[in-house]
A and B are shown apart, each in its own frame.
Chain A
Amino acid sequence: MNSLLSGDFPRSRLLAAILLAILFGLAFAPFLFPGAQPLNVAAKICVFVVLVASYDLLLGYTGIVSFAHTMFYGIGGYGVSIALYSFGPEWGPMALGIIAALAVSVVLALMIGLLSLRVRAIFFAMITLAVASAFAVLASQLSWLTGGEDGRSYRVPEVLRPGFRLLEEPLFGVAITGKILSYYLVFSVALVLFLLALRIVNSPFGRVLQAIRENDFRAEALGYRVVVYRSIATCLSAGMATLAGVLMALWLRYTGPDTTLSFAIMIDILLMVVIGGMGTLYGAVIGAALFTLAQNYLQVLMAQVSEATAGIPLLPQLFHPDRWLLWLGVLFVLSVYFFPTGIVGRLRR
């Protein structure tokens, strides 16, 4: 257990219980919550745990803000999409697509990092914002390659298709289809990636990153090349985000600008990291789970409130289901002020 979690335990009974509940829920999601919608939510949580953990590596551990995380996420998605669409639904092209996407992401991250981190960390936030928006425009314009605004649907290898049956007989009343297999692929890769991230932040390398976050000047004085460490962190984080994008592309069997590159997803990631807790990877798990559940079920609640308050001026508009981001935004601002360590930080006290 110690080596599995790299010695980084939840350090709070309640937190450990919540984490175990989430792990249990995700591990047996197809059997506990049958149906397409809950399985979709579970898969989304798995992917976002990886994505948010990789973002936390940058924001929480190294102390640099990037707005290009969705770009790397998108590169992963488009890598799989282009490979499967052009060369057919085989494992070989898929591996090729993943490797190509990883290479593109890491090189791009290195270039952005060397260009901006050399000067000041704050440049990084602005430059990533600019590059990411240019990339989003590019992806929607190059429609011969990416499918443009509409994106592309493609077929995945046969084992992962809903039509595929692994067992003749249903297991615990659930037919083991390709969809279930594909869920478990997403789940297990996400789990491995999360444990890997845990390993990274608790290694000596991770300690240096935290030192840089606390005081970059001092870290430099102690003999650590801050630029090098920051650049490596950027590349690692970009690579992990790319793999998250790959998982999402495999699960959805569709890749388009709205599911991968949109700024809304970037804001979602920010909210998840901050609400869950910056600087601890368990925050990523809590943030991703809570936020994804809220996204799917909060709007229903808001619609009811909006109807209940019909007739009172302004209130129905405030609680309109489309305005749910307003409330999460308020929550975000408040949590940056009052709970900078997020839910996990609160639970650990």
Chain B
Amino acid sequence: MTAVAVTLPPKPKVDWVPLAIVPVLALIALPLVGSFSTWVTLTVAALAMGMMIFLMASGLTLVFGLMDVINFGHGVFISIGAYLALLVLGPMAAWVASDSVIENVIVLLACIGVAMAGTGALGWAFERVVVRPVYGQHLKQILITMGGLIVAEQMIHVVWGASPIPISLPTTFRGAFVVGEAAVERYRVIAVVLGLLVFAAMYLVLNRTRIGLLIRAGVENAEMVEALGYRIRRLFVGVFIVGSGLAGLGGVMWAFYRQTLTAGMGMEVNVLIFIVIIVGGLGSIGGCFIGSLLVALIANYTGFLVPKLALVSNILLMVIVLLWRPQGLYPVAKR
């Protein structure tokens, strides 16, 4: 060994086992479901569902990973994002009903844009007013963000009224593609594509850019990053805003999927989101992605095979994963 030899840091080992669970699960389900076309429909529906959950959950897990802040009020950003879409749907009602693909796409993008901007801004305010005074105190974080959730949910009632609001999908996104014998809803395909795009973008930002490097370093050891002269606080505010914006995006997608708006809709998925981030490992984006897919796949398959079991299938999944890996599928280093 000469002194000049440059040793590259060892490549981090990729943990393939959790990754393999998703396709294995799908393959096991195939003979159980029986018919291939039903299986395709179920699987695509689950993937779409999983992507939407991922959109909503990714922000929360990142915020937790970076700053050890658990935001029980995350669900409210989902609801608010969905309600903000109304601001677009009202004036652009004609474009929603039109047959033109371009106009429909513009409406969807406008909804997403408004919702993300709105929830992002709200996230900034939420971080400043609600979360900042309680850094490092988990108990108070839980209580405060829960209180924020109650107040925000009631404010939605004040502004938009207490009764559920129906919304309709843009015309071209309705209906289904028929591939062979399997029917695949168009909107679900859009959700899958959008989810993959966001995941890819997030992956690239986290792994290929300087900011991503800092975020990952911050998750690993925030104090050290600060000692090296970076303002982790600013980074964190940025992540919080992006996380809230993503929740808003997820909220819009979720709202179009359900086609009704209720103030409690965010809180309802919040439970699912918590299961996902616990299963994935708190703070891990990859784990969150796999967790979302697992939760959705299992919910769909059990819903078809043993409907009674579907009610508790998510809890069972969580219990099994935690017994196997108590920190979740991809444990994040120090936490």
A-side contacts of B314, CB under 8 Å: 130, 134
**B146 contacts A325, C-beta separation under 8 Å:** no
Complex Cα gap A336–B147 (Å):
9
- Please give, as numbers and ranges, the residues of chain A lying within 8 Å of B155 by CB-CB distance: 326
> Is A299 an interface residue when CB atoms closer than 8 A count as contact?
no
Assuming A121-B138, A130-B275, is B319 touching A333 (CB within 8 A)? no
Known pairs A121-B138, A323-B154; A333 contacts B148 (CB<8 A): yes
- Cα A253 to Cα B324 with chains together (Å): 44
Chain B contact surface mostly: helix
Q: Name 19 interchain pairs, CB-CB below 8 A, sorted by A.
A: A65-B143, A116-B322, A118-B326, A126-B274, A126-B277, A126-B278, A127-B278, A133-B271, A134-B312, A137-B311, A263-B267, A270-B143, A270-B146, A323-B157, A332-B143, A333-B144, A333-B151, A336-B143, A336-B147
Residue of A nearest to B158 (CB): A317
Residue B201 at the chain A interface, CB threshold 8 Å: no
Digit string of B301-335 for contact with A (CB within 8 Å is 1, else 0)?
Answer: 00000001001101100110011001100000001
Within 220-272 of B, Cβ neighbours of A (below 8 Å) are at 267, 270-271
Q: Is B315's CB under 8 angstroms from A130's CB?
A: yes
The complex places the Cα of A126 from the Cα of B145 at a distance, in Å, of 13
Indicate if the CB atoms of B318 and A130 lie closer than 8 Å: yes
The 3 A-B pairs of least Cβ separation, nearest first, read A326-B154, A329-B150, A333-B147
Q: State the CA gap A199–B260 with chains docked (Å).
A: 51
For residue B151, which residue of chain A has the nearest CB? A329
Q: By the criterion CB–CB under 8 Å, are A138 and B157 in contact?
A: no
Complex Cα gap A120–B327 (Å): 9
The number of residues on chain B lying at the interface, defined by a beta carbon within 8 Å of a beta carbon of chain A, is 40
Instruction: Find out whether the CB atom of B144 lies under 8 angstroms from the CB atom of A318.
Output: no
Interface residues of B (CB under 8 A from A): 70, 72, 130, 133, 138-140, 142-144, 146-148, 150-151, 154-155, 157-159, 162, 267, 270-271, 274-275, 277-278, 308, 311-312, 314-315, 318-319, 322-323, 326-327, 335
Knowing A119-B327, A317-B158 are in contact, say whether A125-B319 is a contact too (CB < 8 A): no
| A115 adjacent to chain B (CB < 8 Å) | yes
Chain B residues, Cβ within 8 Å of A65: 139, 142-143
Residue among B143, B319, B322 with most chain A CB within 10 A: B143
A172 within 8 A of B: no
- Quick one: closest A residue to B70, CB to CB? A122
Cβ contacts under 8 Å, A118 to chain B = 326
Residue of B whose beta carbon sits closest to that of A125:
B142
How would residues 35 to 59 of chain A score, 1 for a CB under 8 Å from any chain B CB and 0 otherwise?
A: 0000000000000000000000001
**Contacting pair B150 A325 (CB below 8 A):** yes
Docked CA distance A115–B324 (Å): 11
Residue contact B319 to A115, C-beta cutoff 8 Å = yes
Contact B143 A274 (CB under 8 A): yes
Number of interface residues of A (CB under 8 A): 42
B71 smallest CB distance to A (angstroms): 11
Known: A134-B314, A323-B158, A325-B150. A123 touches B278 (CB 8 A): yes
CA distance A252 to B142 in the complex (A): 32
Q: Cβ of A267 < 8 Å from any Cβ of B?
A: yes
Contact status A127-B144, CB under 8 Å: no
CB nearest to B277 among chain A residues: A126
In the complex, what distance in Å separates the CA atom of A120 from the CA atom of B328?
A: 12
Question: Which B residues touch A133, using CB under 8 A?
Answer: 271
What CA separation (Å) do A76 and B319 show in the bound complex?
24
A129 touches B271 (CB 8 A): yes
CA distance A26 to B76 in the complex (A): 39
Closest to B140 in A: A336
Alpha-carbon separation in the docked complex, A116 to B151 (Å) = 29
What would 10 more interface pairs be, CB under 8 Å, given A118-B326, A326-B157, A333-B144?
A59-B139, A125-B70, A126-B278, A129-B274, A134-B314, A141-B308, A141-B311, A270-B143, A329-B154, A336-B143
List A contacts of B308 (CB < 8 A): 141
Instruction: Determine whether A297 belongs to the interface, using a CB cutoff of 8 Å to chain B.
Output: no
Residues from chain A with a CB closer than 8 A to the CB of B142 are 65, 122, 125
Report the bound CA distance from A134 to B295 in whole Å: 14
If the complex has contacts A63-B139, A137-B311, A333-B147, are A322 and B326 also in contact, measured as CB distance less than 8 A?
A: no
Asked if residues B146 and A322 are in contact (CB atoms below 8 Å), the reply is no
Cα distance A127–B315 when bound, in Å? Answer: 9
Give chain B residues whose Cβ lies under 8 Å from the Cβ of A134.
Answer: 311-312, 314-315
- A65 vs B147: C-alpha distance when bound (angstroms): 14
Cβ of A97 to closest chain B Cβ, rounded Å: 23
Tell me, in angstroms, the Cα distance from A263 to B149 when the chains sit together. 13
A123 to B146, CA, bound (A): 16
Q: Mark contacts of A128-142 with chain B using CB atoms, 8 A cut-off: 1 yes-contact digit, 0 otherwise.
A: 011101100110010
Bound together, the chains give a CA A115 to CA B323 distance in angstroms of: 8
Interface residues of A in 231-272 (CB under 8 A from B): 263, 267, 270
Q: State in angstroms the CA–CA spacing of A110 and B50 once bound together.
A: 31
Contacts of B270 in A (CB 8 A): 129
CB distance from B50 to the nearest CB of A (A): 17
A residues within 8 A CB of B154?
323, 325-326, 329
Q: Would you call A221 an interface residue if the criterion is a C-beta within 8 Å of the partner chain's C-beta atoms?
A: no
User: Shortest CB–CB separation between residue A264 and chain B, in angstroms?
Assistant: 10
Contact B146 A330 (CB under 8 A): no
Q: Which residue of B lies closest to A123 (CB)?
A: B278
A314 within 8 A of B: yes
- Tell me whether B150 and A138 are in contact (CB under 8 A): no
CA distance A314 to B158 in the complex (A): 8
Max count, chain A CB within 10 A of own CB: residue among B144, B154, B277, B314: B154
A340 at the interface (CB under 8 A from B): yes
The residues of B that contact A141 with a CB separation of less than 8 Å are: 308, 311
